[in-house]
Structure 1
Amino acid sequence: MSDNISSAWTHLQSLPQRTLAELFEGDDARVDTLSARIEWDVEEGQAGILFDWSKTHLDADLIAGFEKLAKACDFAGKRTKLFGGEIVNVTEGRAATHSAMRGVGDDADVEEGQALLARMGMLVEAIHGGALGEVEHLIHIGIGGSALGPALAVDALTRDLALVDVHVVSNIDGVALEAAFEACDPAKTLIAVASKTFTTIETMTNAASALKWLSDNGVPDPTGRVVALTASPERAVEWGVDETRVLPFPESVGGRYSLWSSIGFPVALAVGMEDFTPMLAGAQAVDLHFRDTDGAENLCLRAAFADQYYTRLRGCQTRACFAYDERLGLLPNYLQQLEMESNGKRVKADGSPVDGPTAPITWGGVGTDAQHAVFQLLHQGTHLVPVDFIVSIAPGDALDPAHHAILLTNCFAQGAALMAGGNMAADGKDPARAFPGDRPSATMLCDDLDAATLGALIAFHEHRVFANAVLMEINPFDQFGVELGKKMANEIGSGDGDFDASTKALLERAGLAD
């Protein structure tokens, strides 16, 4: 840690911890100061998301301190490298060019991204036009970001209509694949195999079983029903996929950042390129805001200030996200991987040990269900848990407007209650009915939940992760922590390796020991 970074943290630690009530009482402009919108153009004018961080403990002194920290960490320089296509994944010697797939980045990267997406668009249109016969179903096989991103987007955007019925399968547990088989007509089904290297054991095992299912059900050319989504197109061709149905994406696009690439093929097939393209546009609006806005006015960086405050200065080990929208039911799962795989590190980018906590545990659920499950702990438990609320002003249903009004009021009431606290006893003295309050939350209020808004929400969190990583001096783009378990599983499968007594006993009991 440099002297400037150390000095910035020392200063932040010296600042007083004021309550939310004190912060609101002393600042009539607090809501306006800590709320702002990111917007994009639509036919009717502009749409966007309001980001309200006023119910967090950020104040002018903390923000100024964090801005000094960001400067000491060279946030602006690292952001320039990110968008310039320079190496930011230092352990693997790679750039991180996911934003270029959305049209923001180095010119050559953007040009490549546009060409690859145009190729995907032509295949999508050809399939919709009947070039591969009658297609009603797609079984999308991947794992990690290759599955979570498509699953989230398909679930969010196809509640009203799907041009093709998409089933995302990631688990090697055969029960998951059998459920997809049960829902699909093999004669009208395509298989998408999503693997960056085209060697991922879970994905390739599931893919082989999918081909057998097609063959067993009379499909004459099973590999002719496969679309490959990969950064290793030569391996996909070797596996048997015709090159016309191989959709490459750049090696510099990481799995959990890959929805914008050909990994988004199942989304485009389900909703059409006319909805996939606005998802890119919403993300691009956030890219431009993040690239061109400095200091705390940069909303992704401001979110990282709050994250670092609670994790480093208040010792919070978790952060919760609650989407008050059924269509975003998979968002907490998506953010778990994005945040914990990116920033769950114990060494800095230079290889030295970190000198404080890194990523908190990300978790969450869907409102109002979560209110009857986990909010007891949030309101009265001993843990301080920062909460994000995400909700849309426009309803996603055509039922009585009372449904959405109740949803909105519950969302807003939870944030107010977490902050205010109180005692529900008649005399106000029953400790079992007491709520301490002073519990932080942030709200992301969307005008609507459409493809552009979904893209903006995901891109916001991508850049929030990057901003946090810069402030913690870590590399958010590698994920070696997922490799050790895979290596040992391969050793078990091959009969190699020497394991502890407990593992040996479990293998023997399960019938897997030699």
Structure 2
Amino acid sequence: MTNTADCWTRLEQAERETLKALFAADDGRVGRYSGTLAPGDGDILFDWSKTHLSDELVAGFEALAQAAGFDAAREVMLSGDMANPTEGRAAEHTAQRGIGADESVAEADAFHMRMRGLVEAIHDGVFGQIRHLIHIGIGGSALGPALAINALARPTAEWRAPVDVHVVSNIDGNALEAAFEACDPATTMIAVASKTFTTIETMTNAASAVQWLEESGVSDPYGKVVALTASPDKAVEWGIDETRVLPFSESVGGRYSLWSSIGFPVAMAIGWDGFAAFLDGAAAVDRHFADTDGFANLPLRAAFADLMYVQLRGCQTRAVFAYDERLGLFPDYLQQLEMESNGKSVTADGKPLGRQSAPITWGGVGTDAQHAVFQLLHQGTIEVPVDFIAVKQPGHDLDPAHHAILLTNCFAQGAALMAGKENDDAARAYPGNRPSATILCDAMTPATLGALIAFHEHRTFANAVLLGINPFDQFGVELGKQIANQIAAGEGDGFDPGTEALLAAAGLKD
């Protein structure tokens, strides 16, 4: 069997063609490099034809996947075996969607039913009139809910969310005060989302939120608090009644936790049926990822392109532009998913990686970004692969011209990046041959969003397996927090002179 080093050598020696040459040599390229998933209520088109993938490179990456043990690693993850060796646990986010070890799927179903009961009780007025929810978390406990609520809970002429949800993550008190200003404490509940129920930013914000309820005259402030945690005993110790503690499994990582009880604010905003459809959309992608091999596996195909640009073409960033205001938080969500998962310098067995890992993920919203950063994409000296994400059906009732202009600009940018344009004036010349991929959704529904997120989870996992790293730990986030805790405890001696001077200047140290 060929080893991964030989596969990388073969890939590095592969012929490199321009995008125009690849299209000229293959009349069927668009069809062969595109694929469709149907998560339940509309299709999603994934078009990777404007990337530099070639048949030779695809064959090389398929050989790399085989040498890296992709099929076995996929089975380990999806079956609930130990996919996270450094922490000695499984990675069971797919069990929340019905795919995994039988006992884990059953536990997830039971936790979902517990959450559904609380959501429906709140909607039915058991806790009095509840119009607002302040959801407090950080990292995956906040990014996922904020993305889903921003995408799915926008009011229309026919519908308004049963509860207005405000997601607060930053320890900066300005963020929490803004939520207070938007809410009536008499009709507000608080959700505290923390896997360990010890996260300092979250617990500090939670204490301030309870204090706000108390100072506003709410007679039983802790009676308005819901805990979303893998440490239910700590939530009860903190003061929350066990009936309002929604657990999830320790084997569900923070940035993969939206499908668990962390999704409580999403269900509060869109109703339980919407949240169930969200899970079903993700499960449709899980089934495709589990049952499809090689280049036909769409998340794996995306990983082939990702690795080609980082490993073979030296790209250090990947840009994501959502041409839909409802997906404005999607680049932020992907930043954590991809960079926290795959920003590693060692392999899963602790050896030096020996090559580049994840690129920097960044992006924005079209068409705003066209007037800000696209100058560099078109004429700068740095090659940046771009993902465009668009939705065929608009999320508003204004003149259809709005959406037509939006989509036209999205597709035009991909065409312009590839084609370029010659000009005798070098300042007005566009080199072209710049890559992009496009994801086009029929409509922005709970199932579609669930499928989009699951696609990127599996894409991230596939990248990790082909690099030989563990995407499920995140020790790199710990050191800065440890030092901050030392400073807060008055134990932070012996820092560099620059840090000591900053602490003194901010009044944090004599």
Match status 1:476 vs 2:471: yes
What pairs up with 1:456-467 in 2 under 5 angstroms?
456-467=451-462
The separation in 2 between residues aligned to 1:71 and 1:433, in whole angstroms, is 46
What pairs up with 1:373-384 in 2 under 5 angstroms?
373-384=372-383
The separation in 2 between residues aligned to 1:350 and 1:373, in whole angstroms, is 42
CA displacement at 1:350 relative to structure 2: 0.4
Match status 1:504 vs 2:477: no
Counterpart contact for 2:40–2:447, Cα < 8 Å: no
- In structure 2, what is the equivalent of residue 110 of structure 1? 105
- In structure 1, what is the equivalent of residue 276 of structure 2? 277
What pairs up with 1:300-339 in 2 under 5 angstroms?
300-339=299-338
CA RMSD in angstroms, aligned pairs only: 0.9
- In structure 2, what is the equivalent of residue 33 of structure 1? 32
The separation in 1 between residues aligned to 2:268 and 2:338, in whole angstroms, is 28
Counterpart contact for 2:92–2:252, Cα < 8 Å: yes
The separation in 2 between residues aligned to 1:228 and 1:268, in whole angstroms, is 15
The separation in 1 between residues aligned to 2:491 and 2:290, in whole angstroms, is 49
- In structure 2, what is the equivalent of residue 95 of structure 1? 90
What pairs up with 1:416-431 in 2 under 5 angstroms?
416-423=415-422, 428-431=423-426
The separation in 2 between residues aligned to 1:283 and 1:36, in whole angstroms, is 17
Counterpart contact for 2:79–2:99, Cα < 8 Å: no
CA displacement at 1:495 relative to structure 2: 1.1
Q: Which moved more, 1:173-182 or 1:390-399?
A: 390-399
What TM-score do you get using the length of structure 2 for normalisation?
0.98
Q: Residue type of the partner of 1:439?
A: R
Match status 1:453 vs 2:452: no
Q: Residue type of the partner of 2:459?
A: R
Local SS of the residue matching 2:44: strand
Counterpart contact for 2:278–2:446, Cα < 8 Å: yes
Counterpart contact for 2:11–2:60, Cα < 8 Å: yes
CA displacement at 1:19 relative to structure 2: 0.2
* 1:460-505 Cα distance to aligned partner (Å, 9 max, x none): 0000000000011000000001100000001101111321111111
Counterpart contact for 2:390–2:439, Cα < 8 Å: yes
- In structure 2, what is the equivalent of residue 140 of structure 1? 135
* 1:8-65 Cα distance to aligned partner (Å, 9 max, x none): 00000000110000000000010010001011334xxxx2200000000001110000
Unpaired runs of 5+ residues, structure 2, are: none
Q: 1:84 aligns with which of 79, 82, 89?
A: 79
Q: Which moved more, 1:49-58 or 1:33-42?
A: 33-42
Local SS of the residue matching 2:38: strand
Structure 1 stretches of 4+ moved >2 Å: none
Local SS of the residue matching 1:36: strand
Local SS of the residue matching 1:138: strand
The separation in 1 between residues aligned to 2:432 and 2:101, in whole angstroms, is 47
The separation in 2 between residues aligned to 1:110 and 1:64, in whole angstroms, is 36
- In structure 2, what is the equivalent of residue 234 of structure 1? 233
Match status 1:243 vs 2:238: no
Counterpart contact for 2:222–2:240, Cα < 8 Å: yes
* Paired residues, number: 505
Q: Residue type of the partner of 1:364?
A: G
Q: Which moved more, 1:290-299 or 1:107-116?
A: 107-116
Q: Residue type of the partner of 1:267?
A: V
Local SS of the residue matching 2:39: strand
* 1:227-272 Cα distance to aligned partner (Å, 9 max, x none): 0000000000000100000000000000000000000000000110
* 1:272-322 Cα distance to aligned partner (Å, 9 max, x none): 001111111110110000011000100000000000000000000000000
- In structure 2, what is the equivalent of residue 353 of structure 1? 352
Counterpart contact for 2:18–2:52, Cα < 8 Å: yes
CA displacement at 1:3 relative to structure 2: 6.4
The separation in 2 between residues aligned to 1:216 and 1:107, in whole angstroms, is 47
- In structure 2, what is the equivalent of residue 364 of structure 1? 363
Local SS of the residue matching 2:353: coil
Unpaired runs of 5+ residues, structure 1, are: none
CA displacement at 1:107 relative to structure 2: 1.4
What TM-score do you get using the length of structure 1 for normalisation?
0.97
Q: 2:121 aligns with which of 119, 126, 131?
A: 126
Counterpart contact for 2:39–2:451, Cα < 8 Å: no
- In structure 2, what is the equivalent of residue 184 of structure 1? 183
